[in-house]
Structure 1
Amino acid sequence: MSFELGTDGPKVIVVGVDGSDTSMRAGAYAAGMARRQRARLVVVYVTGVPAASRLVAEAAGAVEQAVAEATEDMRRQVEQGALHAGVNAEFIAVRGDPYQELVRVAGELRADAVVVGSSRRFGHRFVGSLAVRLVKAGRWPVTVVP
């Protein structure tokens, strides 16, 4: 009698973070899952695209500076969280629509699982949150962390 050598479960876990409480809990959950499964953890931080074309040059510069600072702060938080959880985490910062960018990154990395935090916005009950849209896409198992 022989047995299969290898692992079950995800090998690449993508988690979307935006700094909200639910996304940070999703990051912690994904880190624990990656540690237990010995999986690759990829943390995707998506920022919106500022409407710089409508801003005067001075304001556009200030917005770009704020986005850069927020991205570096998130990178530091991810590094500290990964160290605390005992996992290696890759940090990817992208700009655009959170749904489209998570789908793109997860597709490129051939992710086995996607983890996101639940939305706290009232309108998302009717319009559809990021989590609902990812589940409906049906391309990966999606874990939604409250």
Structure 2
Amino acid sequence: MAGHEFFEPADRKRPVAEPTATDPLAASEARPSCDPAFRHGVVVGFDGSTSSERALAYAVGMAHRSGSGLIIVHVANRLPTTVWAGCEPPVFVDVPDHRTEVLGLELACADHLSEVPWILVERGGDICHELEEVGREYEADAIVVGSTHGIAGRIFGSVAGRLTKRARRPVIVIP
């Protein structure tokens, strides 16, 4: 069974702590429960680029061989408000990103995804943090990402490089 599900970016889903709660940190860290069919699945970062398409193809094969689900993660853009208003301090805002909807429709029509159950998760924020967070939430067996071949990756550091240094689960980088 193939399908997709759109989630709101992570920073919009944080519940407000109840005044009667004994542990406010526990309430703020609470997340909606994940579909058990995707526990111990394979997380893959996907943005529609050529390298992310290769990573997706590898992740589909990996999920198919292990009999698990595929969690496709698209991290939406977030920009500092200083870009927009030129004021201090830098606060991050969500930029409307309709790319997730377009990617979801493209993925729904993809023949190679019919081999495994999959969902599409949208998040907002730092790509490395969000991929690791989704991996933690779903207790993923691995995170698959494509390598960066651009100048931005050389200047700011690639997502794959940063993720391999901080992740607490196996990271597979597809060239």
Length-normalised TM-score, structure 2: 0.64
Kindly indicate which of the two structures has a greater share of residues assigned to helix: 1
The counterpart of 1:19, out of the listed 37, 48, 53, is 48
Aligned 8 A contact 1:79 1:89 in 2: no
The alignment-based identity, stated in percent, is 38
Q: Which amino acid aligns with 2:133?
A: R
Length-normalised TM-score, structure 1: 0.75
Distance in 1 (CA, whole Å) between partners of 2:170 and 2:113 is: 26
- How far residue 101 of structure 1 moved from its aligned partner, in angstroms, is 0.9
Structure 2 unpaired stretches of 5+? 1-38, 86-94
Q: Deviations over 1:57-81 (max 9, x none)?
A: xxxxxx63xx22x211101122233
Q: Which amino acid aligns with 2:70?
A: L
Matched ranges for 1:30-109 at <5 A: 30-50=59-79, 54=84, 64=96, 67-68=97-98, 70-81=99-110, 84-109=113-138
- How far residue 21 of structure 1 moved from its aligned partner, in angstroms, is 0.5
Moved over 6 A (4+): none
Paired residues in the alignment total 127
Structure 1 unpaired stretches of 5+? 1-9, 56-62
Say if 2:117 is the partner of 1:117.
Answer: no
Aligned 8 A contact 2:132 2:167 in 1: no
